[in-house]
Amino acid sequence: MSRSAVVLGATGLVGGALIARLAQTGQWDTVRLLGRRHPPLPDARFSAVDADLGALAEQASAFAVDDVFCCLGTTLKKAGSRDAFRRVDYDFCVAAARCAAEAGARRFIIVSAVNADTGSLSFYARVKGEMEDTVAATDIPLVAFMQPSLLRGARDETRIAEQAGEKVLSLVTPLVGWTKAAWLPIAAETVADAMVALALHGPETGRLRLRYKDMHAYARRLGEDE
Ligand SMILES: NC(=O)c1ccc[n+]([C@@H]2O[C@H](COP(=O)([O-])OP(=O)(O)OC[C@H]3O[C@@H](n4cnc5c(N)ncnc54)[C@H](OP(=O)(O)O)[C@@H]3O)[C@@H](O)[C@H]2O)c1
């Protein structure tokens, strides 16, 4: 089977885990990484395309693939301002979805956040919610939003707020009922595995939001394939 993908955000925590998994499954014979920087390419099926994410429409033809995986994102601290944060987490993500729609991609699978909500008091959550609404309104057959709480994984940089959040969550985790599992920290690899499994085993059409339990369930499907 010939299958192709575009990945945005491949240098990130989830993006890195995603390309490792795409390489390992052997199901994709063309994987194009779009970005301003690139990680080492796992093998010859992968290529790196320098892209100005602020002018993605000029490279829309690069999105003529089966699956688009979007792992883009920043933090308010890293971005330096609300506008700069929104540019990455809304503008770039929406531009990628519009390119995917125009080029005829079949699936758009993107990392959002558990608290995505246009009505939230949190600016971060509102931007994620607005991104979801706009992306969901494109005519891509399948759009899926991964909605993790805190991501677990090894980073080069220090993120004090996330580390503090993880400490608090690890203390309360034994007390949290399974019904509240959506708020539990999740390994970046599990999110990445769920994205890959969804592309391989998910529905052909629809608008999906996957939280902690859903992502674990999809990620397990990959293990069953091996
Ligand atoms: N961290 C958490 O606990 C958490 C929790 C819930 C949801 N999320 C969401 O999960 C997603 C993935 O998170 P992550 O921690 O894997 O991300 P990450 O490690 O920070 O990686 C972000 C990716 O986005 C790219 N990017 C950021 N700003 C860019 C810019 N101005 N121009 C071009 N590329 C840019 C980075 O590329 P460069 O290498 O070129 O910078 C990198 O590939 C994000 O949307 C995040 O909001 C995270």
| Rounded CA separation 50/209 (Å) | 30
β-bridge partners, 68: 6, 108
Q: Which residue's C-alpha comes closest to atom 28 of ligand 1?
A: 74
| Rounded CA separation 161/164 (Å) | 5
Ligand 1 binding residues, C-beta < 6 A: 9-15, 35-37, 53, 71-74, 88-89, 111, 113, 148, 150-151, 162, 188
**Which ranges constitute the DSSP H helices of the chain?**
13-25, 76-79, 82-86, 93-103, 123-136, 160-172, 188-201, 212-225
Sign of CA dihedral 111, 70, 1, 137: positive
How far apart are the CA of 1 and the centre of ligand 1, in A? 31
Ligand 1 atom closest to the CA of 153, numbered from 1 = 15
Q: What is the mean pLDDT of residues 8-36?
A: 97
Q: Is the predicted pLDDT of residue 158 greater than 90, yes or no?
A: no
Q: What is the mean pLDDT of residues 18-47?
A: 97
Q: Which of 13-17, 29-33, 214-218, 220-224 has the lowest mean pLDDT?
A: 220-224
Number of residues that this document lists for the chain? 226
Ligand 1 atom closest to the CA of 75, numbered from 1 = 47
Ramachandran category for residue 113: left, alpha or beta (phi over 0 → left; psi -120 to 50 → alpha)? beta
- What CATH architecture does domain 4-155+186-225 belong to? 3-Layer(aba) Sandwich (3.40)
Domain ranges of the chain: 4-155+186-225
Q: Which residue's C-alpha comes closest to atom 46 of ligand 1?
A: 73
How far apart are the CA of 12 and the centre of ligand 1, in A? 6
pLDDT digit string, tens, across residues 176-221: 555 568 889 999 999 999 999 999 999 999 999 999 999 999 999 9
| Rounded CA separation 182/128 (Å) | 16
How far apart are the CA of 65 and the centre of ligand 1, in A? 22
Q: DSSP assignment of 1-31, as one string?
A: ---EEEEE-TTSHHHHHHHHHHHHH---SEE
**Which of 72, 92, 123 gets mutated to test ligand 1 (max ligand atoms within 8 A of its CB)?**
72
pLDDT digit string, tens, across residues 38-77: 999 999 999 999 999 999 999 999 999 999 999 999 999 9
Q: Which residue's C-alpha comes closest to atom 47 of ligand 1?
A: 73
Q: Which pLDDT belongs to residue 154?
A: 76
| Rounded CA separation 200/221 (Å) | 9
- Band the pLDDT of 23: cuts 50, 70, 90: very high
pLDDT digit string, tens, across residues 80-127: 999 999 999 999 999 999 999 999 999 999 999 999 999 999 999 999
How far apart are the CA of 166 and the centre of ligand 1, in A? 18
